[in-house]
Amino acid sequence: MDHGDVILRFQDVSYHYDHKKPILTEADFSVRESAKLTIVGQNGAGKSTIFKLIMREFKPAEGEIHIKKGTTIAIAKQVVAHQDLEKTVLQLFTGAFSEKKYDIEKRISRVLDAVHVHAPLEKKISAFSGGQKARLLLAYALIQEPDILLLDEPTNNLDPEGISHLTQFLIDYEKTCIVISHDAAFLSSFTHGVLHLDTFTHKVQQYVGDYYDVVTQIEDQIEREKRLNARMEKDITDQKEKINFFSHKGGKMRKLASKMRSAVEEAEESKVDVRQEDKTIPPFTIDITECTVPLVQITSVTVMKDHKPTKKKVEITVRKRHRLLVTGPNGIGKTSLLEHLANGKEKGAVIGDSVNVGYYRQDFSGLPMEKTVYDTLAEAMEKPNHQLIFATASRFLLPGDKVQNKVGSLSEGQKGLLCFARFMLQKPTLLILDEPTNHINFRHIPVIAQALNEYEGGMILVSHDQEFVAQIEMNEELDLGIL
């Protein structure tokens, strides 16, 4: 596909939180009008940082960011602003424009269909579930039809039909779109190129082609660089052996050794800086504490029918090694059910007194954003163990320099890994998991699935990731849509 003029240009842009923690180093790339690019890289590599630099929330430490004059930009935010919670759907989307739009209801209908949400225009934002709010924020960005549309993990909270709707919307979208996502199939369906961030070198490399093509290109490049370095390393070793031999001789041989030594130093400096592949977390185990049996008894649940709460009777008992999958269409009340279960507010559910509950919230609102990673992990233990905390954090790719950082400074993917690190130390009897693969790098998902499949406690799971769910042996399904 032919693209227009350059609309966005990063020119030797460097950014760091402090001099010891570089995020980007001399990033240099350009984006043309109508292009659709994806940003990929390990959790914490700086993907969201690039978005914040584009939105002028961050300023580069070095270099310049050029945006074509008059360009409009919109980003799908992660959290609804407090002042918007009491607005109706119509009021929220009307506020996206500085001028009155006489076809506003038609525009709202189109973008709500794209994110697969159906709701009356007079419904208040506060009445929507957490997943629906995330979709509304995505729709809020889409309705503006900006020259540059920024989407951060847009398929989170979308079921397969919702992803299909969004994919078609983006295929038809005639302007520039930059996406952060770990959903390979989604990315490959509409992207023209990839910006790859290397978390080790902090460099950005631009590739042309769909996602699967680019992954192959990156792997091929890594192998070429490794082979080249291996040849150079062999030559350098051979030269060093000769230098060692000649240096013990006299006269001209010693002078030759000196020249050869200089040549070897130049060769070592010219070795290719091999891009390191994304690290994957190693296998881990979530142990459990002693508990009463049964863990949870559920006699009724609240579901949303026509946007109104309705009580439905059920008979479900969750014991150790029992896994309950909660399913149903978007907006039916899955997230609300899990939240009320975890908080003890679901009147039709009773959790045993001695049950230690581990709760994974899809929006990470249960994490103490102002506390450090260290304190967050220490609080999960009965008796904090300094060495074990650092070892566990490192296992989940949160090394020593990040352990003293505030949780709020972590990327979304790192927050997800922090939750599983906390479970390891907490040893919960019951896991309540709401979309535990959101924001998680696809390399980590099979490892997490294995840990959950081997978990000896009870589990209540909500997930739209069917491939992930298929890796866990579920015992029972509660479909809220057919109650």
- In this prediction, residue 336 carries a pLDDT of 87
pLDDT at site 234: 74
Q: What is the pLDDT along the chain (483 residues), one digit of tens a residue?
A: 456 789 999 999 999 876 667 888 889 999 999 999 999 877 677 888 999 999 999 999 999 999 999 999 999 877 788 889 999 999 999 999 988 999 999 999 999 988 888 888 999 998 887 778 878 998 999 999 999 999 988 887 777 777 888 888 888 888 999 998 877 778 878 888 888 887 777 888 888 877 777 767 777 766 776 777 677 777 777 777 777 766 666 666 666 666 667 666 666 665 555 444 557 899 999 999 888 778 999 999 988 887 788 899 999 999 999 999 999 887 788 988 999 899 888 888 989 888 999 999 988 888 999 999 999 999 999 898 999 999 999 999 998 878 999 998 888 889 999 999 999 999 999 999 999 998 888 789 999 999 999 999 999 999 988 889 999 999 999 999 887
- Rounded to an integer, what distance in angstroms lies between the CA atom of residue 120 and that of residue 143? 17
Q: Output 468-476 pairs: Cβ under 8 A, ≥24 positions apart.
A: 468/437, 469/325, 471/446, 472/323, 473/323, 474/323, 474/324, 474/325, 475/321, 475/322, 475/323, 475/324, 476/316, 476/322, 476/323, 476/324, 476/325
8 A C-beta contact, residue 306 and residue 483 = no
pLDDT of the residue at 150 = 94
Phi, psi angles (nearest 5°) of residue 332: -75, -20
pLDDT at 128: 83
Query: Cα(229)–Cα(272) distance, rounded to whole angstroms?
Result: 6
Give CA angle at 134 (132, 137), nearest 5°. 110
pLDDT at residue number 1: 46
pLDDT given at position 225: 67
pLDDT for res 259 = 67
Domains and CATH numbers, the chain: 6-214 (3.40.50.300), 296-482 (3.40.50.300)
Q: What is the pLDDT of residue 265?
A: 67
